[in-house]
Amino acid sequence: MRKFLSQRNKIPATCAIILLSLAGCLSVREAPSVISYSVEEVNVWCDFMPGVKPSLHAQMLVNITNMSPDSIRLFEFTGSIFDITGYPLRRFTVHAYYEGNRVREISLPPADSLQLDLRSIRDVPPIDVERFHTVSYSVVCRTSLNGIVILRADSIQVFTTQ
């Protein structure tokens, strides 16, 4: 057993681990630029109201346009809050709302546009607002093209309710 764990055998094992993890990261690719989007409004706040459990809330209002000749489905929305250096602070499920109704997936016909309201779920633990007063917020969703779409909003001032 000692011989197996010798320095000579550690290097190939480490390289194999790195290659396998890179292969796993590369298996999901970002969808080609067939989706255009513009962020209309973004809010990130921590709720510290008396009588309720402290929590983080994030909301993004985004216009999405399908630029491809085919219909595209968007589903499995996941949000992330990052500090200004790109370090992830929170990751959570996002609920998508279209015309005021919650949807699990949305289908975009060719050359069509729509506005989605993307809201964080409840019970996301709050962040340290004194330390992280400016953050970025992104929402990742899967597509019917076997890829992902990343909707980003940078430099958001976090506010609190008390």
Domains in the chain (CATH in brackets) are 29-161 (2.60.40.10)
Residues 6+ apart with CB under 8 A from 1: none
pLDDT at residue number 4: 46
pLDDT at residue number 10: 47
Could you read off the pLDDT of 38-60 as tens digits, one per residue? 999 999 999 999 988 999 999 99
Could you read off the pLDDT of 126-136 as tens digits, one per residue? 999 999 999 99
Backbone φ/ψ region at 4: left (φ over 0), alpha (ψ -120 to 50), beta = alpha
Q: Which pLDDT band, with edges at 50, 70 and 90, does 29 fall under?
A: low
How long, in residues, is the chain? 162
pLDDT at residue number 91: 98
pTM here?
A: 0.77
**3-state secondary structure at position 157:** strand
Indicate if the pLDDT at residue 124 is higher than 70: yes
- Euclidean distance between CA atoms 58 and 94, whole angstroms: 9
pLDDT at residue number 62: 97
